[in-house]
Structure 1
């Protein structure tokens, strides 16, 4: 291994993970990507699936443009909304080509991204990071470094040590109010231990092929129901809550006591964003869609009726949100609400391909991709598509499809 040559991807990752503010938040890596694609346009290589991502990203951007014209969106908001899919797909093209040319770059590039993000937070901390460093950067950075080391650099992979490390991470993250970041790595580890065999299993054979997405859905829905019920009971227990900080305990108790359990309590925006999409399914409400039809009030009333919040002394609901945007805490619903049907199609196409390819190759993938797929699926349905989400997701997608290409080339 030529460490001198591999130090360059590490530096690229460190630099790329820094942010600047140009109309909206941009990573230096996104600017590098745009320059790279412009100057190497004739040498870029994309598979059939990757080209389809480009096509649907362009459709999304065009749909957003039409929506913003129709809704008379402010220019600065429109620019951020229209360029989001264009920057995303350009960064994807850059990373795919950069990694694919020399696959050994991948772990060092990933390490650079994680270390660069951590350095940025320590030097320029966000208000969220100052309030809860573990949940808003420190925990995920430390976890990322360990996962990259275990997946790509460790000579011997001890699954027992992996599970013990993640159990410790689970306990610390729960204490600091990071439920999803606590639970998802453990689920990923259980899947990895079960399915990583270096030979094709009956599981991947049965679930791959046609209707793989529907097959997965039929498995996931009942599992989610059971997990939601168990988690709601767990986080309603005074004995359990006594082990958490007072703020985390209060939040867990409120979300677990609602009519539909803790999962819905944490992501109830989907009902409101679903209604907003149905109100304007083709054109959407425009970039950074302002609430002009009472969706925020409807969301607050709904949470109160379902037992997830209460009335304050001033007559407002306990979780009243003074923000003026239509609530859409989801990549998918955000695109549907902002740009209409042709915006959300991009995420449906990408998600479908990620699940199909993951199931087909599940027995051969490093642990990094088990954790990445679960986080990506969650983000598509339950996370906002801001700068951090855009950056983290494009890194995962580029790494994933580059590694799949590497696997396929070594099978032939």
Structure 2
């Protein structure tokens, strides 16, 4: 078992480090993706995965259907060959990475520690090579912390809380998450800060939540909503007065119609989400095709409709390209139509179903992986609706494979895996 674990650790470390190397082939191909493909081409092992973890087959089936309907959409939309191949390759690569991650965690969930350590080293040496082109340019104007430092410190905090929770230092674990979350909000990375703040609160109240009746949960939800709104109003006032936050937060809030309404802020900060809805309305059944071009900047112009005409035209031209979506769910619908959306929504629903089950499972609470489960769950709730489609080949395979593997390990009570899930007694 130790030899098998060591091999899995080495494979996971190599996968992480190879993410720093990229080649131009049907878009951008990362060498870690090639490595994942070479380690996934074992149909006997995949069959074993299906028997051990039926959800692997469900995820595979959904991704495969997504690929087929995307091909159909591209052919019917007479998409360019380059865009076709880029779209198909992205889905195929994500399917490969899902398979690789499921295989690795099936050996032992503990290799996520080796992966996070390797990620810290890789990003320190080579930077965050997963940056998208549009976000990399923002670093010059906004937060170095958000794009360079936070990806490293996130993993460091997760590693620290893994060990503090493993040693049953629950209050210290919660304190670390809460302090780090507040620091992120202050350093202009609001969404990341909220992930850790909500994660810390869930871990602190986990046993209370587990035994709550439905009526009490509804009451608690209303109470939390009121408290959140009050704290949010204080936050907005502090940012607008220059006492807290950074340039990005200040610019967003000043351009929001009603900055004290958090939904208005989401609408301003994730305008692509609502533009994608308009694109879906125009082609609901088969979508617009892979990397669909925004002809005459029609959809991007909608993002800037509240600005004066000259500024709106300039911003639309400077941001020309594909139809904007900034959502895994809506991005799949825009590219591949309603069936593609349903495939992604099914994976989203399946992942959350397993994740919520773990969050309320007393056995899961006893494992040192519980803080990771909680943080990954909170992030999934944001990534699927509000993050770009390429996340299906970057962050989502890791989170989904980890959550589903832990779930089935606890369900099956397999001796080797159960031993790996137990905390240290020290």
Q: Give the shorter-chain TM-score range.
A: 0.7 to 0.9
CA contact (8 A) 2:238 2:244 kept: no
Partner of 2:157: 146
2:409 to 388, 406, 409: 406
Secondary structure, aligned partner of 1:288: coil
Partner of 1:210: none
Partner of 1:316: 312
Matches within 5 A, 1:332-411: 332-362=329-359, 363=361, 364-365=364-365, 366-386=370-390, 390-410=393-413
Partner of 2:419: none
1:372: how far off?
0.6
CA contact (8 A) 2:165 2:173 kept: no
* RMSD value, Cα: 3.5
1:202: how far off?
3.2
TM-score normalised to structure 1 length: 0.82
Distance 1:219 1:50, change over 3 A: farther
Distance 1:217 1:263, change over 3 A: farther
1:185 to 196, 199, 203: 196
Distance 2:294 2:230 in 1: 33
CA contact (8 A) 1:232 1:262 kept: no
Secondary structure, aligned partner of 1:235: helix
Distance 2:21 2:239 in 1: 42
CA contact (8 A) 1:289 1:326 kept: yes
CA contact (8 A) 1:235 1:256 kept: no
Matches within 5 A, 1:3-82: 5=6, 8-9=10-11, 11-21=13-23, 22-38=25-41, 40-44=42-46, 45-46=49-50, 47-82=53-88
Partner of 1:107: 113
Partner of 2:289: 286
Partner of 1:262: 265
- Runs (4+) of structure 1 exceeding 6 A deviation are 1-4, 122-125, 216-226
Distance 1:318 1:194, change over 3 A: farther
Distance 1:192 1:292 in 2: 47
Deviations 1:185-243 (Å, cap 9, x if unpaired)?
Answer: 1101101111158xx9335x969xxxxxxxx9999899779846853563145675333
Distance 1:73 1:160 in 2: 55
TM-score normalised to structure 2 length: 0.80
1:298: how far off?
2.2
Q: Does 1:94 align with 2:104?
A: no
Partner of 1:252: 253
Unmatched 5+ stretches in structure 2: 416-426
Distance 2:233 2:313 in 1: 22
Partner of 1:299: 303
1:254: how far off?
2.2
Unmatched 5+ stretches in structure 1: 208-215, 305-309
Deviations 1:125-179 (Å, cap 9, x if unpaired)?
Answer: 9545565321013113212222133225764243333333334433432343211
